[in-house]
């Protein structure tokens, strides 16, 4: 994308921010490790890249009212509640830093994002990601939208992203693999990125994928997590969330391997103090 401006030495400084949802619904892994994902694409010195682990497209609201699994409110047409991890605050801070770079030459904070070399980018399967078996939250990240390689005809210049398409609609020559991020025992991403309060002191599992149960993504074949029926990735680029149980007794009864809020923080005061 920067070939022509690099040749003319006119490339701008670029601030790039993205979250987990971009890996599942926006084919972002191609920008990180290319068509084959056998090595990382080197980051140009004029590009400043920052990743928000577990975040939905554009970030979530940052606040919500906890409810037990099975009673949490799920928006119509989605399989999971909306992912609350925000991006607004970190993006605002980065925008300020970016202005200082442009106006005063103050260096940006180092870029932080998952890489193939660190073993953080893996095929989007439950086994490769290490996604745990969570009651009510079966893994659906393998339904991510894959990147396509198109054939628009011999008059298209793919390297320069110009030319005249002679094949419309284009022929799909191949479907590329999707790469996403490793997760920990809670199902939360355990990769290089910007820290957030909800990520550092989680109240549940935050995922960059969500499935649509209505609309043009697919038939209305599912009534919620754990129900029978086919669902389709998409849900308007919305990431998902599934809460931890409140007590050890409740989560043991439910067969949930993730520690409860009680086991993690003791009390609400303990969470706030953390």
Residue 155 located in a structural domain:
no
Residue 150 located in a structural domain:
no
Q: What is the pLDDT of residues 46-68, one digit of tens each?
A: 999 999 999 998 888 887 788 99
Q: Residue 163, CB half-sphere, CA atoms under 13 Å: how many?
A: 14
Confidence check: pLDDT of 232 > 50: no
Distance CA 268, CA 266 (A): 7
Q: What is the pTM of this model?
A: 0.89
Cβ within 8 Å of residue 113, ≥6 positions away: 32, 49, 50, 51, 192, 193
Q: What is the pLDDT of residue 159?
A: 82
Q: What is the pLDDT of residue 235?
A: 53
Which among 155, 156, 147, 152 is positioned nearest to 171, based on CA atoms?
A: 152
Residue 161 located in a structural domain:
no
Residue 136 located in a structural domain:
yes
Confidence check: pLDDT of 224 > 50: no
Q: Which residue has the higher pLDDT, 225 or 214?
A: 214
Distance CA 249, CA 168 (A): 59
Residue 112 located in a structural domain:
yes
Distance CA 3, CA 26 (A): 22
Distance CA 25, CA 2 (A): 24
Residue 126 located in a structural domain:
yes
Q: How far is CA 97 from CA 69, 151, 178, in A?
A: 39, 41, 32
Judged by DSSP in three states, 174 sits in strand
- The parent domain of residue 222 ranges over 3-145+179-243
Residue 165 located in a structural domain:
no
CA end-to-end distance (rounded Å), the chain: 43
Residue 251 located in a structural domain:
no
Which among 236, 186, 179, 226 is positioned nearest to 207, based on CA atoms?
A: 186
Q: How many domains does the chain have?
A: 1
Q: What is the pLDDT of residues 190-212, one digit of tens each?
A: 999 999 999 999 999 999 998 87
Q: Is the peptide bond before 239 cis (omega within 30 degrees of 0)?
A: no
């Amino acid at each position: 994308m920067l070939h022509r401006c690099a040749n003319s030495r006119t490339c701008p400084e670029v601030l790039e921010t993205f979250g987990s949802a971009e890996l599942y619904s926006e084919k972002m892994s191609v920008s990180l490790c290319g068509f084959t994902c056998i090595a990382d694409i080197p980051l140009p010195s004029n590009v400043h890249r920052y990743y928000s682990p577990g975040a939905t497209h554009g970030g979530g609201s940052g606040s919500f009212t906890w409810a037990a699994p099975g009673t949490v409110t799920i928006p119509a047409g989605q399989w999971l509640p909306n992912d609350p991890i925000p991006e607004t605050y970190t993006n605002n801070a980065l925008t300020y830093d970016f202005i200082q770079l442009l106006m005063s030459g103050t260096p940006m904070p180092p870029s932080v994002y998952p890489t193939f070399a660190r073993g953080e980018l893996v095929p989007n399967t439950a086994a490769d990601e290490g996604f745990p078996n969570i009651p009510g939250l079966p893994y659906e990240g393998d339904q991510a939208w894959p990147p396509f390689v198109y054939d628009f005809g011999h008059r298209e210049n793919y390297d320069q992203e110009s030319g005249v398409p002679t094949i419309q609609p284009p022929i799909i020559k191949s479907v590329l693999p999707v790469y996403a991020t490793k997760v920990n025992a809670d199902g939360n991403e355990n990769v290089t990125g910007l820290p957030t309060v909800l990520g550092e002191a989680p109240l549940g599992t935050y995922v960059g994928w969500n499935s649509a149960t209505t609309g043009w993504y697919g038939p209305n074949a599912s009534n919620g997590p754990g129900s029978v029926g086919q669902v389709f990735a998409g849900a308007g680029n919305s990431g998902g969330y599934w809460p931890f149980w409140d007590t050890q007794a409740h989560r043991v009864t439910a067969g949930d391997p993730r520690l409860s809020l009680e086991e993690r923080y003791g009390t609400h005061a303990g969470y706030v103090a953390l």
